[in-house]
Structures are given as C-alpha cells and as structure tokens.
Chain A
Amino acid sequence: MDERARDMQVTPVMRKKLEDGLAPSRLDIIDESHRHAGHAGHNPQGESHFRLEIVSEAFAGKSRVERHRMVNALLAEELAGRVHALALTTLTRDEEGRRL
C-alpha cells in the first residue's frame, strides 16, 4: 500500500458516498474505534468501528433490512477494507420527528 492510500481518512470518503447516494437531511458519522481497542478487528490507526445516523427520504417505504442493505452497498469497499463494524440508525424525516 502506498503512503497516500494509507494516510487517507475513511470518514470523508464515506460521507461523500452517502451524500451522493442518499441525499440525507442529516448524516452523523461517529468514529467509535477507541471503544473497541484490543477487540478483534480493531485497527490502531482508528477508523475501524463507526456509528452512522442517517436521515433520508430514500428510506421511505423500505424495511430496515432494505435500508441497511442500501448503506452497506454504498460502503461495500470500506466494509471490505479497514471498516470492521458499522452501527446503523436509518430513519426518514417523519420517523426522526417522532423519535424526538
């Protein structure tokens, strides 16, 4: 792996892919890697465990499994690489409103 690729941050790449793919009204990407230190799949460089909260109208009428599959497909490359775990919350704007 060349130096540049190794230094590239995963978070902005994921953000761009999710914004392009889902046009979210809210997108929170939280790096929780530090909470998994020492655990299998943990990468000392960080960016191995993420929590994503995504609010998008693209999820309307879709089941939870379908929504997660949409996100997983957009981030397939990252999931095959250094991202070991994604905790996902996928909501439409209506559902977000009801949660608050």
Chain B
Amino acid sequence: MTNPVFDRIRQDLSENDVVLYMKGTPMFPQCGFSAAVVQVLTNLGVKFKGIDILVDPSLREGIKQFTNWPTLPQLYVKGEFVGGCDIVREMAESGELKQLMADKGVAGA
C-alpha cells in the first residue's frame, strides 16, 4: 500500500540535499531544539530546506513513522537520516557533521 505522506517525504528528500523537518521555519523556529539545528546548519554555511511540520498534522505524524523516530527536529542529508538535535549537536562539536557534508558532496560545508 502506498502512503501519500511517505511519497511526499521521499520526493522532498530526492529533490533536496539537506532537509530539516522542524517545528516552525528556519526564520521563525517554534521550538528550541529546531532552532538549535538551524543554527548549526547556518554556522556550517550549508543550504538546506526547512519543512515546517506544524502546518500539516499528517506530515507531523508521518515523518515520525517514516524515520521510526519519535521526536522532531529530524535532519536528512542526501536522503539519509542523520539524527535529531542531540546527535546533530554532538556531530557538529566533533567535526563529524562537516565531514559528513563534505563526504556526501554537499556544497558550503
């Protein structure tokens, strides 16, 4: 059975190198954890697409099922789930996130 929300997520992930599912928008995050990841990506100079799940309840539940991950934000790079706020922050501090972006050929890192 195809799930239209999953199809939409797959499309977003195929069209954008770096996707952040978040509460609010990159300009106006509605949650401290989402804001923290926006900050990390901005500091790295990475272009990313922020997707506000607050405007779409089906996406809000759907992304949790798609990733098998119960919380937001969620960061994807080249279609691969990287982690939530804690993981992204740890990887940023250790330099692993920059390395990951470089390895995946993401511009700006």
A68 adjacent to B30 (CB under 8 Å)? no
B66 within 8 A of A: no
**Chief secondary structure at chain B's binding surface:** mixed
B53 within 8 A of A: no
* Chain A residues positioned under 8 Å from B23 (CB to CB): 40
B86 adjacent to A69 (CB under 8 Å)? no
A68 adjacent to B84 (CB under 8 Å)? yes
Q: A40-B30, A72-B69, A76-B70 are in contact. Are A87 and B86 (CB under 8 A)?
A: yes
Bitwise, B38-81 to A at CB < 8 A (1) or not (0) is 00000000000000000000000000000011110000000001
Give the contact-size bracket for chain B.
10 to 19
Q: How far is the CB of A55 from chain B (nearest CB, A)?
A: 15
Q: A69-B68, A79-B70 are in contact. Are A64 and B83 (CB under 8 A)?
A: yes
B15 within 8 A of A: no
B85 within 8 A of A: yes
B86 adjacent to A68 (CB under 8 Å)? yes
B87 adjacent to A85 (CB under 8 Å)? no
A11 within 8 A of B: no
A65 adjacent to B87 (CB under 8 Å)? yes
B4 within 8 A of A: no
B102 within 8 A of A: no
A23 within 8 A of B: no
B32 adjacent to A87 (CB under 8 Å)? no
Task: Report Cα–Cα, A53/B86, bound state, in Å.
Answer: 11
B70 adjacent to A65 (CB under 8 Å)? no
* Chain A residues positioned under 8 Å from B33 (CB to CB): 85
A68 adjacent to B83 (CB under 8 Å)? yes
Q: Lowest 5 CB-CB distances: which A-B pairs, in order?
A: A64-B87, A79-B70, A88-B86, A72-B70, A87-B86
Residues of chain B having any CB pair with chain A under 8 Å:
23, 30-33, 68-71, 81-87, 90-91
Residues of chain A having any CB pair with chain B under 8 Å:
36, 39-40, 64-65, 68-69, 72, 76, 79-80, 85-89
